[in-house]
Homo-oligomer: A and B are copies of this chain.
Amino acid sequence: MAEQELRIEPGRKVELSEYDPGCTRWFKDKADGEERLAEDVARIAEMQYTMWAENKHALLVVLQGMDTSGKDGVVRHVFSGVNPQGVRVISFKKPSENEADHDFLWRIHAAVPARGEIGVFNRSHYEDVLITRVHGWITPEVCEARCGQINMFEKVLRNGHLTILKFFLHISKEEQRERLESRLSDPKKNWKFQPGDLEERKLWKEYMKAYEYALSTCSTAHSPWHIIPSDKKWARNALVARVVRETMEGMKLKWPRVKIDLEKVKVPD
């Protein structure tokens, strides 16, 4: 089970230097990874249709990672092919004034997927303990308190029909350099370039620390974090798809039985 291998056990103190972002040991080679991705995506699409019909379960996928780590890429490669009627992708940006006037989980709760849906958060409430902490906009005490609030909030969500999967897309600093440079040189990637990304890159060490704290504190039994080695895009996509597939298979999704005696029903002229 890839899910178990990639999952951070509750209470574990994560040191990211112990995790190799280039690891591909689950696959023979790239072709093997791509083949398994295609299989898993087809299976996810199939199961999502049953999930939609059954209208019982919901799945929330949280994607976090440094700039260029591949959050958009995961959305595109893992969830294209799934019926968009049952998938909702929410990209969280800088809070609006109105959002900022509420607690930081307010806009998050509003975006949680409904029964039958897969919700994908491209960035999430975790930004409120990452970028905010790295830039000193909140104190370590507030950060700690927020992580406690996140754990309680996620437990509230988890007590219903919702399953939560959180993925940290782990890339190396060297790989980020290459990807940023290709945004500068490739005309089809220019649009992704934002000068602010270079400033954030200078804070790499501080970000790794903030991630280590969040991953260590907020990987719970009810809402686990997974560390996805993401230097190889194909491995990253295949691993996320595999964990999603395994998790959905665990839901034992079924075509719903209708409570009407259909044999007695007659379609009128």
Q: Chain A residues in contact with chain B, CB under 8 A?
A: 45, 49, 53-54, 72, 75-76, 79-85, 87-89, 91, 120, 122, 177, 180-181, 184-185, 187-188, 190-193, 195, 198, 201-202, 255-258, 260, 262-263, 265, 267-268
Contact = CB atoms under 8 A, between A and B. Distances in A.
B193 A260 contact: yes
Closest 7 CB pairs of A and B: A84-B87, A53-B191, A85-B89, A190-B258, A76-B83, A184-B262, A191-B256
Given A53-B191, A190-B262, A198 B268 contact: yes
Contacts of A260: 193, 195
A56 to B, nearest CB: 11
Given A257-B190, A267-B177, A75 B84 contact: yes
Nearest to A79: B84
Contacts of A84: 75, 79-80, 82, 84, 87-89, 120
A199 to B, nearest CB: 9
